[in-house]
Amino acid sequence: MGYQEYLVTARDEKDFRELIRLCAEARGAGFYDGAAPLKPLSVAFFKEDVGLIPAGTTALWAAGERTGDPGAGLLPQGAPMPPVRVLPADNAEALGMDGKYICGIDFSAKTDKSENEYLTRYSLRAYCAEFCTPQTAFADTAFGREFMRRLNAESFRFALDEKGAGMIYAGRGESVRVDASRDIFYKPEHRALAQRIRVIRDEVDEYMTAFAAAPPRFPGDEKSVAQTRTLLMFGNTEFAARRSSRYGVDFVTWRLDRNGEREIGHYFGDYAAAKEDFVMRCGLIDRRKLFTETELRLIRSGLAEIADITPDRGFAEMTAIRALVEKIDDVVIPEISEQEQRAEDQCYEPEIDL
């Protein structure tokens, strides 16, 4: 037996906040005033990779008796415990024997928040007040729910407040900062991550705005969580979005027969792919005039080889070749344009909305 400290993590931010909310309720009911097997102490948010704990992880710091199943005593019996992972806090692989990762952190119950370069520590009360309030506006909006679902689907870790501002993390210590206006700030070396987050943000904003503006298919359907709405119609081709409480939003294109009945549906989880399918199915773009990404790479390779082998071609022809190579690069290897002057805040560069 004996005293042991633990880090308790959940599979995603939603489950973690639910865990903290349940712990706060248990504390308010006096559950931890007695001999509870495991008592929550504070919440730790990891800014950097720390051994087995990746950057962007939020963990409950708890303590109690050393047992075979420490997580079982964290909440009252019968409480709906979200799926959790429990890690001994003194595990050398997790935090290091020298304690450098917690150097300077004030664990006093009277201190709401303290931080160092590795982590930020919140008291349970302070974390609940900032992240777990019932009126969390961003998480309650259609955009917020779908944006966070997309981040989870691509295994990004994030800590966003009630206004949607905060940090988004990927592997290898990459991170970007998002403010309440949905602007993205990033370091030059994290440009690729910023680009992907911008694509997700812009796509979600586009199709959720269109979904909200589209009329419901059936009377009263606007009150249902699970809905299908037509976003676009052209000729006998329909582009629709389907929203469900479990899977978020996906997309479908249909052809309509002479009676207006839908047939041959093409289903997509990828919004960009669904849009491309729609414009080709309805004939707005001739499929035969399009090149695949593989074909574009082959064309680019051939153009580059021509430019290297025969550099003595005329100025106009070489200029045209270079312009075509750059155009292909914009499609195959898109880049985010940078603002020349860097923001002073943590040396982050603000995104430019093109």
Q: What is the pLDDT along the chain (354 residues), one digit of tens a residue?
A: 567 788 888 888 778 888 888 888 888 777 887 666 788 888 988 888 877 788 888 888 888 777 666 666 788 777 788 888 888 776 544 554 356 777 888 877 778 889 888 888 898 888 877 776 554 468 778 899 899 999 988 989 888 887 888 889 987 778 899 988 899 999 888 998 999 999 999 999 999 999 988 887 655 555 554 588 999 999 999 999 988 867 789 999 999 998 888 888 999 999 999 999 999 999 888 878 788 788 888 888 888 888 777 777 788 888 888 888 888 887 766 543 333 333 434 444 555 443
**Looking at the structure, do residues 13 and 91 belong to the same domain, yes or no?**
yes
Among 212, 230, 260, the domain-final residue is 212
Contact 318, 178 (CB under 8 A): no
Among 212, 230, 253, the domain-final residue is 212
The candidate with the shortest Cα–Cα distance to 45, out of 108, 126, 99, 138, is 126
Pairing assessment for the beta strands 248-256 and 3-10 based on DSSP bridges = unpaired
Contact 95, 101 (CB under 8 A): yes
pTM: 0.57
Contact 23, 40 (CB under 8 A): yes
Q: Is residue 145 part of a domain?
A: yes
Residue 252 domain boundaries? 215-289
Q: Is residue 20 part of a domain?
A: yes
**Cβ atoms within 10 Å of 196's Cβ, excluding its own:** 16
Contact 178, 76 (CB under 8 A): no
Q: Is residue 230 part of a domain?
A: yes
**Looking at the structure, do residues 237 and 195 belong to the same domain, yes or no?**
no
**Looking at the structure, do residues 77 and 27 belong to the same domain, yes or no?**
yes
Q: Is residue 341 part of a domain?
A: no
Q: Is residue 50 part of a domain?
A: yes
Q: Is residue 310 part of a domain?
A: yes
**Looking at the structure, do residues 268 and 148 belong to the same domain, yes or no?**
no
Neighbour-count burial of 112, counting CB atoms closer than 10 A to its CB (0-12 exposed, 13-18 middle, 19+ buried): middle
